[in-house]
Structure 1
Amino acid sequence: MENNANTLSEKNVANNSSSIPVVPAQYRIYFFLLVSCFALWGMLNNMNDTLVPAFAKIFMIKAVDSSLVQVAFYGAYAVLAMPAAFIVRKYSYRVGVLVGLGFYMIGAFGYIPAALLQSYNLFLISIFILASGLSVLETTCNPFVLSLGAPETSVRRLNFAQAFNPVGSMAGLFLAKYLILANLNPADLDERLLMSSEQLAEIRHTELFWVCVPYVGLILIAFIIWVIFFRSKLNEKDGRVAMTVIEAFKKLFSNPRYYCGVITQFFYVGVQIAVWTWTIKYIMITKGLVEHEAVDYFIVAMVLFIIFRWICVYLMKYFVPAKMMAVFALAGILCCLGTIYIKGDFSVYCLIAISGCMSLMFPTIYGIALRGLGAEVKFGAAGLIMAILGGAIITPIMGWLVDSSALSFMVSGFSAAEAAIRTAFYLPVVCFAVVLGYSLAFRKTND
């Protein structure tokens, strides 16, 4: 009887939420202004993934060293998320957006001297500043979207907004393919080691010029969005709250759904960034392709991610989001195992399918963790954005597994390089298992 009652309750919640507009009419203009920011950081996130193989080739460094790109990028999220929460708390969501876009523009300008000086370290600093802006944007925009309507549709609304994020990601991949990766000199490491310093500097100059083009070009778009927000009269809810910081954190960390959500988001973002970072290398090794050819498979993975994101937004009208996420997490584990063990093209299909499995996870974890937090939602949002640090930690660990071949003994019948990249996908299996556990623990609508 209790199970039947729970089932009826879940059906009633689903039916009621399906009749409520995801975005009320009075908020739609503000919603689509925020969606433009979702698309922008999606574009930048995925261009950043392609910088890992690009810088490995340009600066002739190991996989684990090139993954410092992700450490700088996602490490900024951990550093700036909490200051962003204070900005929103003291001022407003609108000010948070303006600050975030400002940091992005400063960081993107830093690519110019980094390219002129051919300095990998200066690129890392510029990436950190750029990503600091994105951290402020994500800390601001995600809870703002949640607030633009009824609580019953908050998770669907965030999934809807996040659905524009991979559209930007797709645009970023095309920019990376045709502007960055296509302009890499075909000379490999051995050939570059035989070049004179003058020849190598000339090649790097050209390659780094094309690295700068899309990032500096996007400054214009960011500036237009900045001006629109600056001139707008958003009728947003006041960002300030009476609750003290200590009170807010006490309440947050007494809520298992919240603090477990932060932990889960750490592992989810880690698996997303790690899988996408090493997808191109996996394709290059298993298919024998070069960078700008291998990125085509990455693009297919992103298309699948987008398609499943939209499908999931629709299905959430009828199914409990946490239960859907549990199914997708289990599918992600199976796809990772296929990527490790299956030979031939089918392993590539499994790798691409991982992106489909990840499609609903970030906004769903985010929405579940923040549900019902009330006044402390801004600090709660900051904690979830800080969890993006997972991308800065798990990605280089996976890079170390690729370099060291530490788990290669667990498979047979492959070359050393292929065994290393395949067995590195045991790490995503662990991450998906954490997401599965969270989904099952908080699968009931009212938990």
Structure 2
Amino acid sequence: MQTTNQGSHSFEAPKQTSLVGKQMFPFILITFLFFLWGMAHNLDSILIPHLKKACELNNRQSTLIDTAVFFAYFIMAIPAGMIIKRFGYKNSIITGLLVFAIGAFLFVPAANTRMYELFLFALFVIGCGLTILETSANPYAAILGPPESSSKRLNLAASFNGLAAMVAPVVGSLFILSGTNHTPDEMAAMSEATKAAYLLGEAASVKMPYIVLGSVLILVAAVVYFMKLPKLKIEATDSEVKPGFFSVLKFSHLSWAVVAQFFYVGAQVCVTSFFIRAAQQGAGLDEKTAAYYLGVYGFLFMAGRFVGTFLLKFIKDYVLLSMYCVLSVLLSLVAIYGEGIHVIYALGGLGFFMSIMFPTIFSLGLVGLKSNTETGSSWLVMSIVGGAILPYAMGTLIDVKHDDIQSGYIIPLVCFLVILYFGVFGRKVKKEKIQ
């Protein structure tokens, strides 16, 4: 997921009129950061069914993986801004990478002990690193080139989140998922030694991918340390006095955007977190084939961003958002009540139509805020906590429904109805409040 820092900052734009020379390699490196945090988020969709098996969890407990990561965003949103203000963007990027790497390396002791609480702590640390990294790296995607093309650079960099959504399930399928699943009766028939060896082997498969990930992060941090990056100059964009952190919510369209973003992030995480198990249960696929289809979902999510960006040239953003919400509601109904391969088609379609929702809600929420934009952005970033809460609600519902995975997609359906309300009514700006 992409979060764009849209405060009242002006950048020292490079003198070049295009990305050439000294600006090209830094931009490639910063874009690679988008891919790295996309990998972290999309590997969570592999970890949920995998650790459910390896640590013998119920559905509700397995969703604490999402809770650990996204609660870190809520906790670290304000501290991340303080770190940037105190140490600068370059040092904050390095800090985010190193904290991210520490979390990745913590997967080794977590796997060795098969201690779920340690896995959750590692994921929380990763989430803290991601918050610092995302808040720091986004402005650099804007600064590395002419100001008039900054939005194009941000969209180009963000597309690598979609690439990660396609690559991560493939990596997870090859190196994490074993493809071996035993029924409760088969598990009960195992001797204690055989069962312990099987579960420890399942847990151990996460070590190598996360050791490699952590090592790459350390290497990238070293490259950033020795690289000269353009500096950021802070200036006020107008003389307007900013309201307090809570009083900015007097802008009703921003308040509704925060609500919509909370439900969007929750919906996206719900869809991907239970994708593999829904594909197994609804379409009868094995674990590795289901992971392959999750990669197809990632491709459709990436394609949806390109198609959506094209359509926005001809269709108003709130109209396209509302249309996509209606289609997402219909696809959620297919995911709940459908059978066979139609369940997979519905989930893949959700990936396509969800692709534009985060940036569209974000931009609609900031319309007309002027010098209040930075505070409004903070609220929209903090609303990412929906990814920590709603998947837990979905897992609880699935457990109540006796492991009926498809019934859990009622939660995303409700989320899309809330976003639809925002697109039709909530996004309207009350002019008297911004004058």
Aligned to 1:263: 259
Secondary structure (helix, strand or coil) at the match of 2:217 reads helix
Residue in structure 2 matching 1:321, options 311, 317, 321: 317
Verify the 8 A CA contact 2:78 2:378 in the aligned structure 1: yes
- Counterpart CA distance in 1 for 2:363 and 2:226 is 30
- Counterpart CA distance in 2 for 1:336 and 1:309 is 20
Verify the 8 A CA contact 1:268 1:435 in the aligned structure 2: yes
Q: How does 1:246-395 map to 2 (within 5 A)?
A: 247=243, 249=245, 252-370=248-366, 373=369, 377-395=373-391
- Counterpart CA distance in 2 for 1:152 and 1:326 is 29
- Counterpart CA distance in 2 for 1:159 and 1:381 is 18
- Counterpart CA distance in 2 for 1:261 and 1:384 is 7
Distance 1:48 1:302, change over 3 A: same
Distance 1:380 1:237, change over 3 A: farther
Verify the 8 A CA contact 1:143 1:381 in the aligned structure 2: no
Residue in structure 2 matching 1:233, options 211, 216, 228: 228
Q: How does 1:418-433 map to 2 (within 5 A)?
A: 420-433=404-417
Decide which moves more: 377-386 or 115-124.
377-386
Distance 1:343 1:108, change over 3 A: closer
AA aligned to 1:394 is: L
Identity of aligned residues (%): 31
- Counterpart CA distance in 2 for 1:138 and 1:254 is 27
Aligned to 2:3: none
Unaligned residue ranges in structure 1 (runs of 5+): 1-22, 406-415
AA aligned to 2:301 is: F
Aligned to 1:203: 198
Distance 1:256 1:185, change over 3 A: same
- Counterpart CA distance in 2 for 1:216 and 1:378 is 36
Verify the 8 A CA contact 1:77 1:386 in the aligned structure 2: yes
Secondary structure (helix, strand or coil) at the match of 2:232 reads coil
Shift of 1:374: 5.5
- Counterpart CA distance in 2 for 1:111 and 1:244 is 48
Aligned to 1:76: 72
Distance 1:137 1:371, change over 3 A: farther
Residue in structure 1 matching 2:189, options 174, 191, 194: 194
Q: Does 1:119 align with 2:115?
A: yes
- Counterpart CA distance in 2 for 1:59 and 1:121 is 10
Shift of 1:317: 3.5
Aligned to 2:5: none
Aligned to 1:221: 216
Verify the 8 A CA contact 2:394 2:408 in the aligned structure 1: yes
Shift of 1:150: 8.3
Shift of 1:361: 1.3
- Counterpart CA distance in 1 for 2:271 and 2:393 is 12
- Counterpart CA distance in 1 for 2:148 and 2:366 is 12
Decide which moves more: 150-159 or 160-169.
150-159
Secondary structure (helix, strand or coil) at the match of 1:249 reads coil
For residues 128-166 of structure 1, what are the alpha-carbon distances to aligned partners after superposition, in whole Å with 9 as ceiling and x for unaligned?
Answer: 101111122222334554566788876655433221101
Tell me how large the CA RMSD over aligned residues is.
Answer: 3.0
AA aligned to 1:220 is: S
Verify the 8 A CA contact 1:89 1:378 in the aligned structure 2: no
- Counterpart CA distance in 1 for 2:337 and 2:286 is 23
Shift of 1:124: 0.8
Verify the 8 A CA contact 1:105 1:219 in the aligned structure 2: yes
Aligned to 2:161: 165
Shift of 1:105: 0.7
Distance 1:29 1:113, change over 3 A: same
- Counterpart CA distance in 2 for 1:217 and 1:133 is 17
Aligned to 2:8: none
Q: How does 1:51-130 map to 2 (within 5 A)?
A: 51-130=47-126
Q: How does 1:143-158 map to 2 (within 5 A)?
A: 143-145=139-141, 157-158=153-154
Verify the 8 A CA contact 2:283 2:339 in the aligned structure 1: no
- Counterpart CA distance in 2 for 1:339 and 1:184 is 23
Verify the 8 A CA contact 1:271 1:428 in the aligned structure 2: yes
Decide which moves more: 128-137 or 238-247.
238-247
Identify, as 1 or 2, the structure richer in helix.
1
For residues 273-292 of structure 1, what are the alpha-carbon distances to aligned partners after superposition, in whole Å with 9 as ceiling and x for unaligned?
Answer: 00111111111112223321
Aligned to 2:38: 42
TM score, norm. by length of structure 1: 0.83
TM score, norm. by length of structure 2: 0.85
- Counterpart CA distance in 2 for 1:189 and 1:146 is 52
For residues 294-350 of structure 1, what are the alpha-carbon distances to aligned partners after superposition, in whole Å with 9 as ceiling and x for unaligned?
Answer: 212212211111111112223334433332222211111111112223344323312
Shift of 1:24: 5.4
Decide which moves more: 250-259 or 261-270.
250-259
Q: How many residues align?
A: 411
- Counterpart CA distance in 1 for 2:62 and 2:148 is 43
- Counterpart CA distance in 1 for 2:191 and 2:240 is 61
- Counterpart CA distance in 1 for 2:371 and 2:294 is 40
Distance 1:315 1:144, change over 3 A: farther
- Counterpart CA distance in 2 for 1:186 and 1:250 is 49
For residues 35-73 of structure 1, what are the alpha-carbon distances to aligned partners after superposition, in whole Å with 9 as ceiling and x for unaligned?
Answer: 211111111111111111111111122111111111111
- Counterpart CA distance in 2 for 1:435 and 1:152 is 31
AA aligned to 1:232 is: M
Shift of 1:384: 2.3
Aligned to 2:12: none
Unaligned residue ranges in structure 2 (runs of 5+): 1-16
